[in-house]
Amino acid sequence: MSALSNIGRFAPSPTGPLHFGSLVSALASYLDIKKRRGQWLVRVEDIDPPREVPGASATILQQLDAHGLHWDGDVLYQSERLPDYLAALEQLAHKDLTYYCTCNRQRMQTLGGIYDGHCRDLQLADKDSAIRLNVGDTDRGHQQFTDLIMGDYQQSLRTEVGDFALRRRDGLFSYQLAVVVDDHYQGITHIVRGSDLLDSTPRQLYLQQCLGYQRPEYMHLPVALNTDGQKLSKQNHAAALAPGNEAHNLYTALVWLQQQPPAELAYLSVSEILGWGITNWAISKIPSTMGMSAPDRF
Ligand SMILES: [Zn+2]
């Protein structure tokens, strides 16, 4: 692929069918990259088998298709990408940036989420260990970027995150590692996703630096909240999008993203709604707030 081509992606976890919140992310990433005349890829993030729901990835792909959100190329499954994650870990180990950690869950809980580097110099063995990335000193671990919606964002990895895990003690690769390796592998230039992931972006920027990857552009959307103020998610029992309402769902998502579609658009077809959405896509209209209430009906 040409280095000049724009490539976006939607990367669902197969933990359940699409709900309004995940449709918003899919739609926004699709409209944004199509406005840039780029390609839109779909990647199924299926590297956490205990959390997966059988059949969910097939359902998600059917739902995207029904909403006219047709992806370019083949769907990439992270479960088929494990050799590349291993290679990235080896590359980081060669640079002496990683170490084994045997801290258990109880010890981690006492740390309040910020790892203290306890195992950094202990030269522990691989067996039953997590692999952590050394985030370096305060200067090196300080990351900042300008989000296309949220604006300037910065974080000190040393003081706010600590050395983070790239592989868990149970042997599963971390989300942070897999997402960075795959965004690079797929040549992703524009990442559009929910603001619940904003605070993991500095970790991903740092990993990109360590692995010598290019930095994509980031755009973090407000997340849709339920009446209790929680993010819509499978865990919070968000309603799956019902079949047959695709045009209505797209229109409602455009309204929610404050793209101000004309009322008559609601009565048009899925492809006409998407066509309007691409032509009129305006990042500047999307509110730079972390969360907003989901619509009452969808
Ligand atoms: Zn440790």
- The domain spanning residue 20 has which CATH number? 3.40.50.620
Last residue of a domain, one of 125, 141, 176: 176
- Given a cut of 50, whether residue 3 has pLDDT beyond it is no
Query: Do 237 and 197 fall into the same domain?
Result: yes
Query: Do 241 and 266 fall into the same domain?
Result: yes
- Given a cut of 90, whether residue 206 has pLDDT beyond it is yes
Give the range of the structural domain holding residue 101, as residue numbers without chain letter. Answer: 82-176
Average pLDDT, the chain: 93
- Do the domain assignments include residue 1? no
Query: Do 42 and 107 fall into the same domain?
Result: no
Question: How many domains does one find in the chain?
Answer: 2
Query: Do 103 and 154 fall into the same domain?
Result: yes
Residue for token digits 């992310």?
25
Query: Do 161 and 253 fall into the same domain?
Result: no
Last residue of a domain, one of 144, 160, 176: 176
Query: Do 73 and 28 fall into the same domain?
Result: yes
Q: Identify the weakest region by mean pLDDT among 112-121, 180-189, 203-212, 216-225.
A: 112-121
Ligand 1 center to 84 CA (angstroms): 25
Rounded to an integer, the average pLDDT of 148-166 is 95
Q: Which pLDDT value is given to residue 2?
A: 47
Q: Which pLDDT value is given to residue 138?
A: 65
CA distances from 123 to 31, 118, 196, 251, 275 (A): 48, 11, 35, 56, 57
Last residue of a domain, one of 120, 154, 176: 176
Q: Identify the weakest region by mean pLDDT among 10-19, 37-46, 169-178, 222-231.
A: 222-231
Q: Which pLDDT value is given to residue 233?
A: 79
Rounded to an integer, the average pLDDT of 208-225 is 96
Band of residue 4 on the pLDDT scale cut at 50, 70, 90: low
Q: Which pLDDT value is given to residue 25?
A: 97
Ligand 1 center to 292 CA (angstroms): 38
Specify the higher pLDDT residue, 237 or 6. Answer: 6
- Do the domain assignments include residue 158? yes
Ligand 1 center to 114 CA (angstroms): 11
Ligand 1 center to 168 CA (angstroms): 11
**CA–CA gap between residue 216 and residue 205 (Å, rounded):** 9
Phi/psi of residue 110, nearest 5 degrees: -70, -15
Global pTM reads 0.94
**CA neighbor of 23 nearest in space, from 32, 38, 8, 12:** 12
Q: What is the DSSP string of 121-157?
A: TS---STT-EEEE---STTTTEEEEEETTTEEEEEEH
CA distances from 187 to 41, 81, 88, 266 (A): 10, 15, 16, 35
Query: Do 201 and 267 fall into the same domain?
Result: yes
- Do the domain assignments include residue 298? no
Query: Do 214 and 154 fall into the same domain?
Result: no
Ligand 1 center to 49 CA (angstroms): 24
Rounded to an integer, the average pLDDT of 158-170 is 94
**CA–CA gap between residue 47 and residue 211 (Å, rounded):** 21
Ligand 1 center to 173 CA (angstroms): 17
Query: Do 52 and 87 fall into the same domain?
Result: no
Query: Do 202 and 286 fall into the same domain?
Result: yes
Ligand 1 center to 117 CA (angstroms): 7
Query: Do 215 and 238 fall into the same domain?
Result: yes
Ligand 1 center to 119 CA (angstroms): 4
Query: Do 98 and 17 fall into the same domain?
Result: no
DSSP-derived 3-state class of residue 220:
strand
Ligand 1 center to 109 CA (angstroms): 12
- Do the domain assignments include residue 2? no
Rounded to an integer, the average pLDDT of 93-111 is 93
- Do the domain assignments include residue 102? yes
Q: What percentage of the chain exceeds 90 in pLDDT?
A: 81
Band of residue 151 on the pLDDT scale cut at 50, 70, 90: very high
